[in-house]
Chain A
Amino acid sequence: MSVAGTLLRSRALAALTSPHGVDRYLELVNPMWAAHEVRARIVGVHREVDVPGHPPVATLTLQPTATWRGHRAGQHVQVGVEVDGARRTTRVFTISSPDSRPGDRFTITLRANPGGVVSRFLAERAQPGTVLHLSQAQGEFVLPDHVPEQILLVSGGSGITPVMSMLRSLQRRTHRGRITFLHYAQSPEHQIYAAELDEIRRSGDGIDVHLLHPELGDPALSPAYLHRLLPGYQDVPTWACGPEPLMKAVQAAYDGSDALRTEYFRPPRASSGDAGGEVVFERSGKAAPNAGTPILDQAEALGLTPESGCRMGICFSCVSRKTEGTVRNVLTGEESSLPDEDIRICVSAPVGDCSVDL
Chain B
Amino acid sequence: MTKQLIDQIEGEASIRFDMKENMVDFATIAFPHFRGMEAILEGKPALDALVVTPRVCGICGHAHLMASVRAMESAYADANEPVQLTAKADTIREVTLVLEMIQNHFKWIYLVIMPELAKLRPEKIALTPLKGAYAASLASKALASFAGQWPHSSYMLPGGVSCDPTHLERIKAQSLVDELISFFEKECAGTALDDFLAFDSCHDFNALESDIGEIERALTAAGMHKKGFAYDRFMVLGEHRFTNPAKVMQTRLLQADEKHVKTHSAYSPSEKTFAKNACYKDEFYECGPLSRAMASNVELIKSMHRRFKDSAYSRVMARIFETARLLDHARDMLGSLALNEDSLIPPKPITGISGCGVGVVEAPRGPLIHRVEIEEGIIKSYEIVTPTQWNIGSSVKENPTPAQLAMMGNVTMEEALFIFRTFDVCSVCTTH
Q: Do A and B form a real pair? A: no
* Residues of chain A at the chain B interface (Cβ within 8 Å): none
Binding site for A on B (CB under 8 A): none
